[in-house]
Amino acid sequence: MSQRSIRRFSALGAGVAAALVTLAPSAKAPRAASRNPLYILLPEASFETVRGGDEVYALICAGCHQPRGEGATGAGRYPALAGSAKLAHGAYAIDIVVSGKGAMPSFKELLDDEQIAAVLNYARGVALGNAFSPTLEAADVRRARH
């Protein structure tokens, strides 16, 4: 396991669920939270090296919200992000990603401030059919953390 480390991953789409394993966090997984028993094996530093909003979305969000943000209903309800008026409110979007709500888990231990701002700007932008401004900054995310 020298090329892999255990990373916490709470948001599960139906396609991702088969990849889950329940393991104890290792010393190489500083962001793993002991209160959450779900972990996934990913290449070393996967989350740390993924910086672009499109990359973070593809790695973490698309499994539930779908690649184009259309949302899904099945084992759970995953709201559409494409054309979502709720994303117009940057503070609301930050709070949902940082704190979680309902089936949406908190990503404050998995993603840093820059990654959260990047993925929210991606979701709030034209890639998912939105055009919300202003652009969110890492400082906005930092203020929202509890």
Which two three-digit tokens encode residue 81?
Answer: 């992000």
Q: Which residues of 36-65 are buried (b: 16+ CB within 10 A; e: fewer)?
A: eebbbebeeeebeebeebeebbebbbbbbb
Query: Could you tell me the CATH number of the domain that includes residue 119?
Result: 1.10.760.10
Which domain does 111 fall in, by range?
4-144
pLDDT band at residue 43 under the 50/70/90 scheme? low
pLDDT band at residue 49 under the 50/70/90 scheme? confident
- What's the total number of domains in the chain? 1
pLDDT, greater one: 122 or 8: 122
Pairing relationship of beta strands 4-8 and 77-78 according to DSSP bridges: unpaired
The predicted model scores a pTM of 0.70
pLDDT band at residue 146 under the 50/70/90 scheme? low
